[in-house]
Structure 1
């Protein structure tokens, strides 16, 4: 896979120094003149190619912190390392709260920057893998029949097969058959793994997944509003 490290600094000479350093370590670096230039280049399309951003906090027009906020609004996933001159504590805290992976002073050892860029690219890779798993699970959930959805709802409520059968007015054998189909389609072996995949796939907490235990099986469950395949979750 091709990787890209975007570099946005308030001093072009610093940008090129960083690019030269990264290239010397085998990284592919792309220098951009401003935050606005970065926003024109990137989009919310999920790419398997790892990418990250080395950004200055102090930038003309749109600053580094405002850039991170805008990336989040646009649902652009771009792990960010701030590389800036004499960062103050307030800005550093804001950056970390916004999701920056590191805030590095320019006078620091270059090895820290190299390490943080590597961490950012690995962060992108692992998140991409999780997103692929989430999408796969969503497609598997969509393949369930209405009857299988009802049984899955019961399983996730902690109901026994006989309780599900009684509630749905089905034979226990039918419930068992649907249960086997669910486990096969979701590629899991036990209810705990099934629940974990559902929660991961829907980006929901357990409480949000099953909101009302009193509702009929299948009527208030997440499939009624399964999210469409979306851009990668925003962690920047």
Structure 2
């Protein structure tokens, strides 16, 4: 079956070689890039790139468990979604997993389609998060090019004020506001005022 995970990669972490091989085969057939590790410690030591990635880990392994790995990734603010596989599901374990920020909790034996759906959802979510973070940084970079006065005019526009009101607030002429407005719209690459408002919302500069 075709995957909709795009350019994502899945890191499989399991001390059971046959389980790793089985998941690798499933993901290869689905067209998803995969890399496996024998332990959580090996994964953390390798520190692979997490952009566009998700982690599939067994819960019970020698050394660090899958949930402890999820907790450690959360502590490090390593934003890849974690899917935990368990052969011994119980309510306390599920609660612990959710508190660790686990994206999904799948019991063995699992249906291949269930696993692929969970992985595709996690990768799609991650791609969205990466895209949003990149867009936010792009907007911040554009804002950094504005002069202090252009930033003040932008704040006024985002607040819904007319040019004359902004001119009054800043004690400058309406014509000068128009010049600053044209300059900042060009620097922000905003075609319309609604574009500018959307950018301001992304970085929460409106107030």
Query: For the superposition of Structure 1 and Structure 2, which TM-score range results when normalised by the shorter chain?
Result: 0.7 to 0.9
The TM-score normalised by the length of structure 2 is 0.83
**Which structure has the higher relative contact order (CA within 8 Å, separation 6+)?**
1
Gaps of 5+ in 2: 1-5
Partner of 2:82: 80
Superposed counterparts of 1:3-152, under 5 Å: 3-42=8-47, 47=51, 50-152=52-154
Please give the alpha-carbon distance, in whole angstroms, between the structure 2 residues aligned to 1:189 and 1:2.
31
Maintained 8 Å contact 1:161/1:175: yes
The TM-score normalised by the length of structure 1 is 0.74
The Cα shift of 1:190 comes to: 4.6
Partner of 1:166: 168
Please give the alpha-carbon distance, in whole angstroms, between the structure 1 residues aligned to 2:146 and 2:184.
7
Please give the alpha-carbon distance, in whole angstroms, between the structure 1 residues aligned to 2:182 and 2:95.
49
User: Which of 178, 181, 186 is equivalent to 2:180?
Assistant: 178
Please give the alpha-carbon distance, in whole angstroms, between the structure 1 residues aligned to 2:184 and 2:45.
44
Gaps of 5+ in 1: 211-236
Aligned residues: 202
Residues 191 and 100 of structure 1: CA distance in aligned 2, closer, same or farther (over 3 Å): farther
Partner of 2:3: none
The Cα shift of 1:192 comes to: 4.5
Residues 67 and 40 of structure 1: CA distance in aligned 2, closer, same or farther (over 3 Å): same
SS, match of residue 35 in structure 2: strand
Maintained 8 Å contact 1:165/1:175: yes
1:36-83 C-alpha deviation (Å, 9 max, x unpaired):
11111226x674xx3211112223332222212221222322122112
Please give the alpha-carbon distance, in whole angstroms, between the structure 1 residues aligned to 2:23 and 2:100.
23
